[in-house]
């Protein structure tokens, strides 16, 4: 295929006619397809069906705690031991929360704003608080900052994680930079995995703010599609440099069992865990221990999680392959789109030609395909190059995805050819 960027005006006009005709045809089909939601499909949820009628007998745990009653803010011993094995984090360094890790992240930021951390000034008393936001990234991280008045600084992603030269420079010279959002394995939306070097540099870097925190959201830590990608243990790396207090680690079973009805946790250094507990104990008498018990008895151990994730991968890997094969077949070599091939996680991110993402998403909507809104993967919904689009392949069926991707590729090409012709005016 000839690269669109190398086409003459006459060739572009011919291409525009071709893709406009195809687009009009797509519109006539009046489809209603959705590739916007990072949700598991019903068949993935069925893998955890047993949880719906799980018999917890008398609700007593193996260690003799009555999970039906109040008590144990930090979570059940069995649940902490389970996550300790899955994540390779000491059990005493974690608190098992409720159903949502995002909730724990929000609370962590709010605590720092109201109370401060490590004995430092509460962030809300400072003239300015900034966070580094590796982008494209997770829109809900950015929404937390936006709502709480934290200024966001975009840091570009590379194939091994955030641009670390930029991160190191910024945190060293600006003490108003208090945090960074990281999704270290199979990042949302690009599926990028942080290299050992990236993790080590984050752990070791010199920060002007003594209360700088890494918000380590390992949401896709076990969501492998093609073998297990290793991730350097951030606590080990930070501990080796005397920076253990720098890390807040978040995880949940949302996309292992049931989103919104799983079990979440926060892990941190002993000093941070003590600080979090002091505030959390005012906030709640304890989280849902019955769900903790059910989850552990169902998943059992790290091997149980591996098995569950292998079953999930068997269901969703074909969906990823389908998305990628459409991209390759219909856009490969055209020069109008680029994408990463994720080895896990929940998304495929496509970069269109600069200035084409909004139009592509709007065209797709016109043709009945809902996509995540353009700009959503950047702070303040502003994609500086207007080119990133997040595709969520897990929820639709293979047949729906097939149609949706055909239409998506038509829209990418039509938006690109219009843009190129505009540029020639
Ligand atoms: C990166 C990331 N973190 C957190 C979440 C939400 O997790 P939870 O359901 O535990 O709140 C999501 C959900 O899509 C996500 O993509």
Cα separation, 293 vs 330, whole angstroms: 48
pLDDT tens digit at each of 425 positions of the chain: 789 999 999 999 999 999 999 999 999 988 899 998 899 999 999 999 999 999 999 999 999 999 999 999 999 999 999 999 999 999 999 999 999 999 999 999 999 999 999 999 999 999 999 999 999 999 999 999 999 999 999 999 999 999 999 999 999 999 999 999 999 999 999 999 999 999 999 999 999 999 999 999 999 999 999 899 999 999 999 999 999 999 999 999 999 999 999 999 999 999 999 999 999 999 999 999 999 999 999 999 999 999 999 999 999 999 999 999 999 999 999 999 999 999 999 999 999 999 999 999 999 999 999 999 999 999 999 999 999 999 999 999 999 999 999 999 999 999 999 999 998 76
Residue among 40, 219, 221, 249 to mutate when testing ligand 1 (max atoms within 8 A of CB): 219
269 CA from centroid of ligand 1 (Å): 22
In sequence order, what E strands does 196-261 have?
213-217, 247-252
Alpha carbon nearest to ligand 1 atom 6, residue: 102
Q: Are residues 324 and 252 in the same domain?
A: no
In a domain, 52, yes or no: no
Kindly write down the DSSP assignment for every residue of 262-276, as one continuous string: S-EEEE--HHHHHHH
Q: Are residues 336 and 287 in the same domain?
A: no
Q: Are residues 116 and 155 in the same domain?
A: yes
Cα separation, 11 vs 383, whole angstroms: 30
Looking up tokens 């018990």 gives 293
Residues flanking ligand 1, CB < 6 Å: 38, 100-102, 138, 183, 188, 217, 219, 252, 254, 259, 264
Sheet containing strand 337-339, edge to edge, reads 337-339, 348-352, 388-391
422 CA from centroid of ligand 1 (Å): 39
What range defines the domain where residue 366 resides? 4-44+306-423
In a domain, 193, yes or no: yes
Q: Which ligand 1 atom is the nearest neighbour of the CA of 104?
A: 11
140 CA from centroid of ligand 1 (Å): 8
Domain end: 300, 331, 360, which one?
Answer: 300
Tally of structural domains, the chain:
2
Q: What angle do CA 41, 397, 221 make, to 5 degrees?
A: 40
DSSP state of 380: G
Q: Are residues 271 and 413 in the same domain?
A: no
In a domain, 10, yes or no: yes
Q: Are residues 82 and 180 in the same domain?
A: yes
Burial 385-415 (b: 16+ CB within 10 A, else e): ebbbbbbbbbbbeeebbbbbbbbbbbbbbbb
| 115 Cβ contact list (under 8 Å, min separation 6) | 122, 279
Q: What angle do CA 213, 215, 221 make, to 5 degrees?
A: 145
CATH number of the structural domain spanning residue 156: 3.40.640.10
Q: Are residues 157 and 296 in the same domain?
A: yes
In a domain, 49, yes or no: no
Cα separation, 131 vs 173, whole angstroms: 14
177: which strand partners?
A: 130
Report the candidate in 182, 275, 274, 178 with the shortest Cα–Cα distance to residue 237.
182
pLDDT at site 31:
86
CATH number of the structural domain spanning residue 35: 3.90.1150.10
Residue among 40, 101, 266 to mutate when testing ligand 1 (max atoms within 8 A of CB): 101
Helix (H, G, I), strand (E, B) or coil at 313: helix
> Is residue 67 within 8 Å of residue 83, measured between CB atoms?
no
340 CA from centroid of ligand 1 (Å): 21
Q: What tokens were used for 110?
A: 């709010």
Q: Are residues 122 and 226 in the same domain?
A: yes
Domain end: 249, 270, 300, which one?
Answer: 300
Which element (helix H / strand E) includes 338? strand 337-339
Q: What tokens were used for 245?
A: 């207090």
Q: Are residues 88 and 197 in the same domain?
A: yes
In a domain, 86, yes or no: yes
Q: Are residues 292 and 371 in the same domain?
A: no
Burial 4-39 (b: 16+ CB within 10 A, else e): beebeeeebeebbeebeebbeebeeeeeebebbebb
> Is residue 293 within 8 Å of residue 305, measured between CB atoms?
no
> Is residue 287 within 8 Å of residue 97, measured between CB atoms?
yes
Q: What tokens were used for 151?
A: 């200024």
In a domain, 411, yes or no: yes
pLDDT at site 1:
77
In a domain, 56, yes or no: no
Domain end: 269, 300, 331, which one?
Answer: 300
Q: Are residues 157 and 124 in the same domain?
A: yes
Is residue 70 packed enough to be buried (19+ CB in 10 Å), middle (13-18) or exposed (0-12)? exposed
Kindly write down the DSSP assignment for every residue of 169-213, as one continuous string: HHHHH-TTEEEEEE--SS-TTT-----HHHHHHHHH---SSTT-E
In a domain, 55, yes or no: no
pLDDT at site 238:
98
Q: Are residues 274 and 351 in the same domain?
A: no
Alpha carbon nearest to ligand 1 atom 14, residue: 38
Q: Are residues 81 and 183 in the same domain?
A: yes
């Amino acid at each position: 295929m000839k690269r669109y960027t190398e086409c003459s005006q006459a060739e572009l006009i011919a291409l525009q006619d071709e893709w406009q005709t195809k687009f009009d045809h797509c519109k006539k089909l009046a489809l209603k397809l959705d590739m916007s939601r990072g949700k598991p499909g019903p068949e993935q949820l069925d893998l955890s069906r047993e949880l719906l009628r799980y018999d917890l007998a008398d609700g007593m745990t193996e260690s003799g705690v009555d999970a039906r009653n109040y008590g144990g803010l930090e979570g059940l011993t069995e649940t902490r031991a389970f996550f300790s094995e899955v994540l390779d984090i000491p059990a005493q360094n974690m608190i098992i929360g409720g159903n949502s890790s995002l909730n724990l992240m929000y609370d962590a930021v709010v605590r720092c704003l109201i109370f401060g951390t490590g004995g430092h000034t509460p962030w809300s008393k400072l003239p300015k608080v900034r966070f580094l936001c590796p982008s494209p990234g997770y829109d809900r991280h950015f929404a937390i900052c936006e709502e709480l008045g934290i200024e966001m600084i975009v840091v570009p992603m590379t194939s091994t994680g955030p641009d670390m030269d930029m991160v190191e420079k910024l945190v060293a010279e600006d003490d108003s930079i208090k945090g960074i959002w990281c999704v270290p394995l199979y990042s949302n939306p690009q599926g990028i995995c942080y290299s050992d070097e990236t993790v080590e540099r984050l752990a070791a870097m010199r920060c002007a703010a003594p209360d700088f925190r890494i918000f380590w959201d390992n949401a896709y830590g076990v969501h492998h599609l093609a073998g297990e990608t290793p991730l350097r243990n951030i606590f080990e790396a930070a501990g080796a440099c005397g920076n253990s207090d720098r890390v807040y680690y978040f995880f949940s079973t949302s996309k292992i069992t049931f989103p919104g009805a799983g079990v979440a946790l926060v892990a941190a250094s002993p000093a941070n865990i003590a600080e979090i507990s002091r505030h959390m104990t005012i906030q709640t008498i304890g989280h849902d221990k019955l769900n903790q018990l059910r989850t552990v008895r169902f998943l059992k151990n790290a091997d149980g999680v591996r098995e569950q994730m292998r079953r999930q991968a068997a269901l969703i890997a074909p969906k990823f392959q389908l998305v990628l094969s459409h991209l390759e077949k219909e856009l490969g070599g055209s020069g109008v789109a680029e994408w990463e091939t994720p080895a896990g996680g929940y998304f495929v991110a496509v970069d269109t030609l600069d200035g084409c993402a909004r139009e592509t998403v709007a065209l797709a909507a016109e043709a009945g395909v809902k996509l995540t809104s353009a700009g959503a993967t950047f702070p303040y919904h502003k994609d500086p190059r207007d080119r990133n689009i997040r595709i969520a392949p897990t929820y639709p069926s293979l047949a729906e995805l097939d149609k949706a991707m055909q239409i998506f590729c038509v829209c990418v090409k039509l938006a690109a050819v219009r843009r190129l012709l505009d540029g020639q005016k």
